[in-house]
Amino acid sequence: MPHIKLLSPRLANQIAAGEVVERPASVVKELVENALDAGAGRVDVEVEQGGAKLIRVRDDGSGIPESDLPLALNRHATSKILTLDDLEAVGTLGFRGEALASISSVARLALTSRTVDQEAAARVEAEGRDMDARISPAAHPVGTTVEVRDLFFNTPARRKFLRTEKTEFNHVEECVRRQALGRFDTGFTLRHNQKTVQSLRPAESDLDRERRVGSLCGRQFIDNAVMIDTEATGLRLWGWVALPTFSRSQADLQYFFVNGRVIRDRLVAHAVRQAYRDVLYNNRHPAFVLYLEVDPATVDVNVHPTKHEVRFRDGRLVHDFIFRTLHRALADVRPDDQFRGAV
Segment contacting ligand ADP (CB under 6 A): 12-20, 75-83, 185-193, 211-219?
75-83
Segment contacting Mg ion (CB under 5 A): 96-104, 108-116, 270-278, 295-303?
96-104
CB 49 within 8 A of CB 159: no
Number of residues that bind ligand ADP (CB under 6 A): 23
When the beta carbons of 26 and 78 are compared against ligand ADP, the nearer one is 78
Report how far residue 289's alpha carbon sits from residue 180's, in angstroms, rounded to the nearest whole number.
Answer: 12
Q: Does 106 bind ligand ADP (CB under 6 A)?
A: no
Among 24, 29, 90, 95, indicate the residue that binds ligand ADP (CB under 6 A).
95
CB of 67 to Mg ion, least distance (A): 19
CB of 156 to Mg ion, least distance (A): 26
Report how far residue 304's alpha carbon sits from residue 284's, in angstroms, rounded to the nearest whole number.
Answer: 30
Among 50, 51, 61, 94, indicate the residue that binds Mg ion (CB under 5 A).
94
Residue 219 half-sphere exposure toward CB, CA atoms < 13 A: 2
Among 73, 99, 263, 299, indicate the residue that binds Mg ion (CB under 5 A).
99
Q: Does 179 bind ligand ADP (CB under 6 A)?
A: no
Q: Does 61 bind Mg ion (CB under 5 A)?
A: no
Q: How far is CA 222 from CA 158, 166, 246, in A?
A: 39, 27, 10
Residue 161: which H helix or E strand, with range? none
Report how far residue 57's alpha carbon sits from residue 147's, in angstroms, rounded to the nearest whole number.
Answer: 7
CB of 194 to ligand ADP, least distance (A): 23
CB of 279 to ligand ADP, least distance (A): 41
Tally of CB atoms within 10 A around 174: 14
Q: Does 17 bind ligand ADP (CB under 6 A)?
A: no
Segment contacting ligand ADP (CB under 6 A): 6-14, 72-80, 133-141, 178-186?
72-80
Mapped onto helix, strand or coil, the DSSP state of residue 227 is strand
Q: Does 170 bind ligand ADP (CB under 6 A)?
A: no
Among 14, 26, 34, 259, indicate the residue that binds Mg ion (CB under 5 A).
34
Q: Does 92 bind Mg ion (CB under 5 A)?
A: no
Cα–chain center distance at 34 = 10
Q: Does 147 bind ligand ADP (CB under 6 A)?
A: no
When the beta carbons of 16 and 242 are compared against ligand ADP, the nearer one is 16
Q: Does 30 bind ligand ADP (CB under 6 A)?
A: yes
When the beta carbons of 63 and 286 are compared against ligand ADP, the nearer one is 63
Nearest to 306 by CA among 8, 14, 28: 28
Q: Does 38 bind ligand ADP (CB under 6 A)?
A: yes
Q: How is the chain split among helix, strand and coil, in percent rounded to 5? A: 35, 25, 40
Handedness of CA 262, 266, 272, 276 (dihedral sign): positive
Report how far residue 128's alpha carbon sits from residue 73's, in angstroms, rounded to the nearest whole number.
Answer: 11
Q: Does 100 bind ligand ADP (CB under 6 A)?
A: yes
151-155 LR contacts (CB < 8 Å, sep 24+): 151/21, 151/23, 151/24, 151/27, 151/51, 151/52, 151/55, 151/106, 151/107, 152/106, 152/107, 153/106, 153/107, 153/108, 153/128, 154/106, 154/128, 155/14, 155/106
Report how far residue 343's alpha carbon sits from residue 340's, in angstroms, rounded to the nearest whole number.
Answer: 9
Q: Does 104 bind ligand ADP (CB under 6 A)?
A: no
When the beta carbons of 60 and 165 are compared against ligand ADP, the nearer one is 60
Q: Which residue is nearest to ligand ADP (CB)?
A: 94
Binding site for ligand ADP (CB under 6 A): 30, 34-35, 38, 59, 61-64, 72, 77-80, 94-101, 144
Binding site for Mg ion (CB under 5 A): 34, 94, 99
